[in-house]
Structure 1
Amino acid sequence: METVIIVSILIILVSAINAQSNEQNSWAKRVEREHEVATTLQFYFHDISGGPNPTSVRIAQATQTNNSSTFFGALVMIDDPLTIGPDPLSKIVGRARGLYGSSGLTVFSLIMAISYVFTYGIYDGSSFSLLSINQETKSPREMAIVGGTGLFRLARGYVIARTYSNNATVGAIVGYNVSLLTNKV
């Protein structure tokens, strides 16, 4: 009987380790090449603008364009969760911290200056930075990665973003597919 209990405990432990490993691999893949490392990430960005705990807050608005249908001149500061799945309760793997502003006078587009800081797995403490136009009404859309830290030091690459959901009173959930190249250290 004791052997059955020990074997059962071992099976549970191995299953838990495999589940954690599969979860880690479900959103990130790292391939080392001769002189560089290619990393692909897939996660969801949750920009929560309403409710009791917003993660994005408007910090400025140009007074002469208050009637703009594109919110031209509005500036928003963010500290948004990044998750493995689109469900806000799925595993958090990092935070998007920075700002974006409405940069289109006649077409809704955002200029984004954001660092994506990771807090999970081997990427804990690493970040990449995005500085790009986000034409939010297009899907998919591409944005430029201009640098990074930790495992993403000197990163270059791009993000393909697709809006998963968008609610004017609550916020948006956006799926990110990221392709990064870094120098092998």
Structure 2
Amino acid sequence: MIFLVVPAVLSRAPGRGYRGAMLYVLGGGLLALAAFLGFRFVRRGLPPSPNACAKCGKTRVKLAEEDDDYWLEEGQRREEHLGTGDFDVWWCAPCEDVIVVRNARFQPTVATCEKCRGVMTPEILETVRAASFQHGGELKVQLSCGHCGFSERFMRYTPRFSRPAS
């Protein structure tokens, strides 16, 4: 296929001769090779797809939400019930193997529990000082873990209101 392309490219380089056209062909080939190798390098760092079974290579099936609770750990079930996490369960029928994957579209923006690495949900306990145009606000916040029940309290400060530009 390349031999068919090269003569066409070589004949389209008026005034530069074969050398200039050959540099374009070699440069394009090197660029394509670099893109291919770069994609493979980047792909190597990504997690494997849950669709293909690592043991037998067959395609896995994603279980329905009502069927996946059996395969979830207690803490994962609690996270789904609280709404702080969503897990997908992928089943391979030939191997009778299952994997549990946190749903990537549901990435919580809350903290991770220092005891069990579960997801902690924030709860505002009290507004100590409301924000105004003169000063920022203060809130008492508690983070609670859905897995192990660990909780942590701290103060969070909010910015003061800004006046609209006229």
Q: Which structure's residues are more often helix, by fraction?
A: 2
| TM-score for the superposition, normalised by structure 1 | 0.25
Higher relative contact order (CA 8 A, sep 6+): 1
